[in-house]
A and B are shown apart, each in its own frame.
Chain A
Amino acid sequence: MGDAFELLGIDPAFELDLGAVERRHRDLSRALHPDRFAGRPPTERRQALSKAIEVNDAWRTVRDPVRRAEALLARLGLSSAEGQGPEPATAPELLMDLLELREQLGEARRERDAAAVEKLRRDVLGRQARVEQNLAQSFSHALRSAPTDELRDALLGQLGELRYYRKFIDDACVIEDEIL
């Protein structure tokens, strides 16, 4: 079984035309969706279901920047799971920023200020977009030729930063739900 990129038949990269990948996902779904196998023998239905699940999982991986980065790191033979393997220390400036943002989020929650939470979320979405651009560049280098230790550290650091932003945005959404 290939990885997500092979399953979808696309070239591995961080920067992707998600619209094109979505169309590929749909084309594959047309061929494999269980509804198409409704009248077929049970073993065939099970095979199709299994394959359809793999394809949906591949789409889920490729479409989410964090999972996409993890899949690419796996291709490069670099472990990226949280808590496994040596990770570069998080830059102090980043930690300070995150602490500040968390404090502001906490205050907005206490004041039940949905507008403030929304603003913070958009701020972090902007930061997330920037680190994604960095990741795109780093991966572009790494996938072309064997990554140096420096590049490897950069990649892991950027992924770590992306994870922080993702967690922040998820938490902000939960808080917004609470307030509204």
Chain B
Amino acid sequence: MLLDIFDPKAPPQPIGIDLGTTHSTVACVRDGRPMPLVTCDGTPLLPSVVHYGDHGNVVVGTAAKAYATRCPSRTIASAKRFMGRGADDAETGRLGAYRFVAPATAEDAKIVRFDVGATFVTPVEVSAEILKSLRQSAVDQLHSVGGAVITVPAYFDDAQRQATKDAGRLAGLSVLRLLNEPTAAALAYGLESRENGLFAVYDLGGGTFDITILVLDDGVFQVRSTGGDSALGGDDMDRLLAEAMLGTMDCDAPEYQTPEIVSIALGAARQVKHSLTEAREVAVELPRRGGDTAEFSISRERFDQMIEPLLARTGRACRRALRDAAVDASELSGVILVGGSTRVPRVRAYVRELFGREPLGDIDPDLVVAYGAALQADLLARSSDDVLLLDVLPLSLGVETMGGAVDKILPRNTTIPVGAKSVFTTYADNQTGFDIHVVQGERELASDCRSLARFTLRGIPPMAAGMARLEVSFHVDENNLLQVKAKELATGIEQTVEVKPSYGLSDEQIEDMLIDAIDHGDEDFEARRLVEARVEASRMMLATEKALAVDADLLDQAEHQRVTGVLDRLRVALSEPANASRVQMLMGDLDEATHDWAGRRMNRAIQVAIAGKRVRDVEVEVADAAGVDAHLEAHGAKPPGGE
């Protein structure tokens, strides 16, 4: 048996987390291969269920599931379906066993709150409990945990993604990146098989459906198009069965559908669904109103009929994604199945019919996404350029105009990161503020799209109406999160932009929650800050040292000394008991010291790319180079800035 030697000087291990609707997993990369970690349940798959006890205690996983029938409104499963959603979202009205808090104000309505007896919790906090548990499992097995990549459905909008990031933060994780689930699955398959070509990823989970068309080409994973439904999954199959069962239980009328009864029906529905994977006919005994029991039986044929409308919805999304990608199903090299719900025999058959080929399922559909996340976390930690993930904007981004229509700024399926500019003007004399309502979706009316946020520009220089030229820049980063900047063109004055997200928690609310957690002795805030600062500092030092090994020729002597000076001070600070503020201050120094040099390195990288070489191919040569210009001349590239 090989003993894992714990090396206290070893760099913290990056991890990948699949935060699923039904199950969550944490994985890491060992010897170049992804492997799942064991959760508090003793298995790699942790049920995404959280139970809130009478005395404020929290239970996660299978232990929490045990409470589902007894205390259904205090046992939250499928919190993911409520992430980034407001209190009046359709999801809260669907068949379920939860009690929701009626919002008192418009501000309150921005986020769903579960009434779990002793307290109210948001989906973000519920998800944070799951993430905390996974993080603890990782710490137990890896001793030192670095950054985490957390996956999200490709079709998640900005609010849903932000909520996931917030949950990560609350759980004490350093979130390196949000990664789309289909891309993660493709990464796991692609790195495993090294096959090039066009692939479709059909990802049907507990609560979300994603279809992504990608091209795999020598380490480049380029998404061509993505589509889906962020409110469609295995849970909906359960609901259809549960509705039928409630009939058998004589509980058709809403007044009989108490949380306990609904919970029994949903639990039985889930079991029946699973059994129908192997059996052609299943029968269960259900309690009936009045005290006795009744038998509920269903054939696989009948079940297939029931779920056909759900599958048809996935089919529509698939056809549209293929069209957006300008790809015919026959051009695909393979279809990858992801998500536990793809185990349902009718789903596999449907996918086979839809794409005209047998789908791939070699890697466990329950683990493949976590594997991809772990692989990406590892790549990011090593700043590797072996692999390039090019994802896209899943939903068009637009601005609401005066009449309530949408002015599309960025179309869906644009490669990210991406930016666009729009010019607006004022409608009143000396107007110093301006409101922009950003929405996501494909419909023509803003009210039919999903409201993202209201941005208020302040500090517009006073001018006559219609004279100001407000150039608003919309930037979507690699996490698919939006940032807005604004500048008045005539005067060049930049406006401050106030963001009011339409859904979710504000930064202040998150900070309050973090402080709350400290007050309850959950975390030692200072200790955690220090750990985060150390992880970030180590990565920054590693990156700088790597850059020195290759691009030192781009530094003059004074700069070089300055950089190595800060590096030395950082090294010292990290080897002795330091505090977070000192480490952060030194990181700021390093940022400043390397700033101009970074610009030069970037220009060199661009010139190298244009000259048709890979950056790595050049690294070796540059190490011996006489100087920048001599080197570039030798490779026939135009010197930066010159012409």
Binds B, one of A50-58, A68-76, A157-165: A50-58
User: What's the minimum C-beta distance from B594 to chain A, rounded to whole angstroms?
Assistant: 6
Say yes or no for B68: interface residue by CB 8 A criterion.
no
SS class of chain A's interface: helix, strand, loop or mixed? helix
Say yes or no for B349: interface residue by CB 8 A criterion.
no
Is there contact, CB below 8 Å, between B606 and A28? yes
Which A residue sits closest to B414, measured CB to CB?
A60
Docked pose: A157 CA to B246 CA in angstroms: 65
Is there contact, CB below 8 Å, between B602 and A51? yes
Is there contact, CB below 8 Å, between A31 and B539? no
Note all chain A residues with C-beta closer than 8 A to B606. 9, 28, 31-32, 51
Interface centre among A39, A40, A51, A59 (most CB of B within 10 A): A39
Docked pose: A129 CA to B389 CA in angstroms: 31
Note all chain B residues with C-beta closer than 8 A to A29. 388, 390
Say yes or no for A92: interface residue by CB 8 A criterion.
no
Docked pose: A24 CA to B598 CA in angstroms: 22
Which A residue sits closest to B543, measured CB to CB?
A39
Docked pose: A160 CA to B48 CA in angstroms: 54
Is there contact, CB below 8 Å, between A47 and B388? no
Q: Given A26-B222, A35-B478, A36-B385, A41 and B417 touching (CB < 8 A)?
A: no
Say yes or no for A49: interface residue by CB 8 A criterion.
yes
Which B residue sits closest to A40, measured CB to CB?
B543
Say yes or no for A152: interface residue by CB 8 A criterion.
no
Note all chain A residues with C-beta closer than 8 A to B176. 38
Residue total for B at the interface (Cβ-Cβ under 8 A): 50
Docked pose: A40 CA to B220 CA in angstroms: 22
Which B residue sits closest to A25, measured CB to CB?
B415
User: What's the minimum C-beta distance from B328 to chain A, rounded to whole angstroms?
Assistant: 13
Docked pose: A140 CA to B220 CA in angstroms: 33
Of B417, B477, B614, the residue contacting A30 (CB under 8 A) is: B614
Residue total for A at the interface (Cβ-Cβ under 8 A): 37
User: What's the minimum C-beta distance from B542 to chain A, rounded to whole angstroms?
Assistant: 6
Of A27, A43, A53, the residue contacting B475 (CB under 8 A) is: A53
Say yes or no for A107: interface residue by CB 8 A criterion.
no
Say yes or no for B319: interface residue by CB 8 A criterion.
yes
Docked pose: A73 CA to B532 CA in angstroms: 51
Q: Give B422-444 interface residues, CB cut-off 8 Å to A.
A: none
Cβ proximity bits B606-643 to A, threshold 8 Å, 1 near / 0 not: 10111010110000000000000000000000000000
Cβ proximity bits B450-478 to A, threshold 8 Å, 1 near / 0 not: 00000000000000000000000001011
Q: Given A36-B383, A39-B383, A31 and B598 touching (CB < 8 A)?
A: no
Docked pose: A56 CA to B223 CA in angstroms: 13
Say yes or no for A123: interface residue by CB 8 A criterion.
no
Interface centre among A37, A41, A51 (most CB of B within 10 A): A41
Note all chain B residues with C-beta closer than 8 A to A40. 383, 540, 543-544, 598
Interface centre among B376, B417, B612 (most CB of A within 10 A): B417
Q: Give B189-227 interface residues, CB cut-off 8 Å to A.
A: 217, 220, 222
Q: Given A31-B605, A33-B388, A47 and B598 touching (CB < 8 A)?
A: yes
Which A residue sits closest to B410, measured CB to CB?
A60
Say yes or no for A65: interface residue by CB 8 A criterion.
no
Of A26, A47, A60, the residue contacting B602 (CB under 8 A) is: A47
Say yes or no for A44: interface residue by CB 8 A criterion.
yes
Note all chain A residues with C-beta closer than 8 A to B380. 35, 38-39
Say yes or no for B595: interface residue by CB 8 A criterion.
yes
Which B residue sits closest to A27, measured CB to CB?
B609
Note all chain A residues with C-beta closer than 8 A to B587. 41
Which A residue sits closest to B419, measured CB to CB?
A53
Is there contact, CB below 8 Å, between B594 and A41? yes
Say yes or no for B599: interface residue by CB 8 A criterion.
yes
Say yes or no for B177: interface residue by CB 8 A criterion.
yes
Q: Give A144-171 interface residues, CB cut-off 8 Å to B.
A: none
Docked pose: A41 CA to B539 CA in angstroms: 9
Of B220, B320, B419, B612, the residue contacting A57 (CB under 8 A) is: B419
Note all chain A residues with C-beta closer than 8 A to B609. 9, 24, 27-28, 30-31
Of B220, B376, B419, B599, the residue contacting A47 (CB under 8 A) is: B599
Say yes or no for B323: interface residue by CB 8 A criterion.
yes
Docked pose: A53 CA to B418 CA in angstroms: 5
Docked pose: A61 CA to B275 CA in angstroms: 52
Is there contact, CB below 8 Å, between A32 and B598? no
User: What's the minimum C-beta distance from B483 to chain A, rounded to whole angstroms?
Assistant: 9
User: What's the minimum C-beta distance from A140 to chain B, rounded to whole angstroms?
Assistant: 23
User: What's the minimum C-beta distance from B444 to chain A, rounded to whole angstroms?
Assistant: 9
Docked pose: A180 CA to B227 CA in angstroms: 15
Say yes or no for A48: interface residue by CB 8 A criterion.
yes
Note all chain A residues with C-beta closer than 8 A to B323. 173, 176
Docked pose: A41 CA to B590 CA in angstroms: 7
Note all chain B residues with C-beta closer than 8 A to A54. 419
Say yes or no for A177: interface residue by CB 8 A criterion.
yes
Note all chain A residues with C-beta closer than 8 A to B389. 33, 35
Is there contact, CB below 8 Å, between A9 and B388? no
Q: Given A38-B383, A60-B418, A33 and B590 touching (CB < 8 A)?
A: no
Note all chain A residues with C-beta closer than 8 A to B477. 34, 49
User: What's the minimum C-beta distance from B374 to chain A, rounded to whole angstroms?
Assistant: 15
Docked pose: A79 CA to B415 CA in angstroms: 27
Q: Given A38-B176, A53-B475, A31 and B608 touching (CB < 8 A)?
A: yes
Is there contact, CB below 8 Å, between B542 and A28? no
Docked pose: A33 CA to B177 CA in angstroms: 13
Is there contact, CB below 8 Å, between A35 and B598? no
Docked pose: A73 CA to B605 CA in angstroms: 30
Note all chain B residues with C-beta closer than 8 A to A48. 602
Docked pose: A94 CA to B614 CA in angstroms: 48
User: What's the minimum C-beta distance from B476 to chain A, rounded to whole angstroms?
Assistant: 8
Note all chain B residues with C-beta closer than 8 A to A59. 415
Q: Given A24-B610, A47-B602, A30 and B388 touching (CB < 8 A)?
A: yes
Is there contact, CB below 8 Å, between B417 and A52? yes
Docked pose: A173 CA to B414 CA in angstroms: 17
Docked pose: A43 CA to B176 CA in angstroms: 17
Which B residue sits closest to A59, measured CB to CB?
B415
Is there contact, CB below 8 Å, between A41 and B598? yes
Is there contact, CB below 8 Å, between B383 and A56? no
Note all chain A residues with C-beta closer than 8 A to B612. 27
Which B residue sits closest to A60, measured CB to CB?
B414
Is there contact, CB below 8 Å, between A35 and B539? no
Say yes or no for B76: interface residue by CB 8 A criterion.
no
Note all chain B residues with C-beta closer than 8 A to A56. 414-419
Say yes or no for A83: interface residue by CB 8 A criterion.
no
Docked pose: A50 CA to B419 CA in angstroms: 9
User: What's the minimum C-beta distance from B442 to chain A, rounded to whole angstroms?
Assistant: 8
Docked pose: A47 CA to B595 CA in angstroms: 9
Is there contact, CB below 8 Å, between B388 and A26? yes
Say yes or no for B381: interface residue by CB 8 A criterion.
yes
Docked pose: A27 CA to B611 CA in angstroms: 10
20 A-B pairs within 8 Å (CB atoms) are namely A24-B609, A26-B217, A26-B220, A28-B606, A29-B390, A31-B605, A31-B608, A32-B602, A35-B177, A35-B389, A38-B539, A40-B598, A41-B595, A43-B595, A49-B477, A53-B418, A53-B475, A56-B418, A57-B418, A60-B415
In the complex, besides A40-B383, A177-B320, 10 extra interface pairs with C-beta distance below 8 angstroms are: A24-B609, A26-B390, A32-B602, A39-B383, A49-B478, A54-B419, A56-B419, A60-B414, A60-B415, A180-B316
The 6 lowest CB-CB distance pairs between A and B, nearest first, are: A9-B610, A39-B539, A41-B591, A31-B605, A44-B598, A39-B543
